[in-house]
Amino acid sequence: MAIRLVLVLACFLSACTTVPVPESAAPAGETFRHETLDGFLERFVDDYGRVDYAAASDDRGDLERYLAAVAARSPDSHPELFPTQGERLAYWLNGYNAWVLRAVLEYYPIESVKDVPKPRALLLGGLARFFVGQKATLGGDRMSFHHLENGIVRERFAEPRIHFALSCASQSCPQLPAEAFDPMSLERQLDRAARRFVRDERNVRVDERAREVWLSAIFDRYEGDFTSWLEGAHPERPATLLSYVALYAEGGLAEDLLECDDCKLNFFEYDWGLNAQR
């Protein structure tokens, strides 16, 4: 109970703390741009979502410039720069992924986000050291990764595909795309991310002989996000995890999933190993 209270307090404090805008932030333009993050991802992320952290450690200029802009302006601080839902969602997704990258680079070389040191004066252990102890600054507001994901992205956007777009720098997390999310292409990018996640056998596997289905632990952790969306968007389909996954399955996998509605459902153990190029 004491540990839970500490985590809740840490999340609350981190979500409500305001910090000064970085001096290096670029002047505001008519719209918020993501090109500098695009360039960084193109150089250091491969086709499998793995990051060349060693090389990126020596070439962080684009990432730092992008984060300075993110720290200075957000849909909350400058709503005129983000007039559409797509522009707002792309900002929060890119901001999360960029700050996670920076946090890893601050402590690299590490083997897992679990290896990040405990923040001073906070009684945090394990994954909480990273997701609660590490902070991101967006539009002048300082917050934890936990709050950014759950208090902003999940809270404001009824879009379960965000769980295939937020990359937490680990092997079992969604693959980090080698491009920034772009408001004009966001629907296509989210759809592609969902299909890529589902076709990976580390995330979805049907064992017809054993009558078992294995899914990523992400589906277990956020089951309500997937089934609630399905109830509203596709009332003609059963509001189940297998029904949702089948929407993005390709080839025979979709048919196997729909025919396995009575199969035992299992979830893979989460691999927190760093998503680094070897």
pLDDT confidence of residue 124 = 73
pLDDT confidence of residue 23 = 43
The helix-helix angle for 61-72 and 85-107 (nearest 10°) equals: 130
Q: What is the pLDDT of residues 82-111, one digit of tens each?
A: 999 999 999 999 999 999 999 999 999 999
Q: What is the pLDDT of residues 226-250, one digit of tens each?
A: 999 999 999 999 999 999 999 999 9
pLDDT confidence of residue 107 = 96
Helix, strand or coil, per DSSP, at residue 254: helix
Yes or no: say if 174 and 204 are a contact pair by the CB < 8 Å rule. Answer: no
Query: What mean pLDDT do residues 8-36 have?
Result: 52
Q: What is the pLDDT of residues 43-65, one digit of tens each?
A: 999 999 999 999 999 999 999 99
pLDDT, mean over the chain:
90
Please tell me whether the overall predicted TM-score, pTM, comes out greater than 0.95 for this model: no
pLDDT confidence of residue 9 = 39
Least-confidence region, from 109-118, 119-128, 202-211, 230-239? 119-128
pLDDT: is 181 or 278 the higher one?
A: 181
Say yes or no to pLDDT of 10 above 60. Answer: no
Say yes or no to pLDDT of 24 above 80. Answer: no
Of all residues in the chain, what percent carry a pLDDT higher than 90?
82
The helix-helix angle for 241-248 and 223-233 (nearest 10°) equals: 70
Query: Six-digit token pair at 275?
Result: 């998503």
Query: Six-digit token pair at 186?
Result: 């966001």
For 49: left if phi > 0, alpha if psi spans -120 to 50, otherwise beta; the answer is left
Say yes or no to pLDDT of 75 above 80. Answer: yes
Query: Six-digit token pair at 225?
Result: 């996000």
Closest-CA residue to 218 (of 145, 144, 167) = 167
Please name the amino acid found at residue 200. D
pLDDT confidence of residue 17 = 34
Maximum C-alpha span of the chain? 61
CA distances from 145 to 1, 10, 152 (A): 22, 12, 10
CA distances from 196 to 18, 26, 139, 187, 218 (A): 37, 34, 31, 14, 14
Closest-CA residue to 175 (of 187, 185, 189, 156) = 189
pLDDT confidence of residue 123 = 66
Q: How confident is the model at residue 121 (pLDDT cuts 50, 70, 90)?
A: low
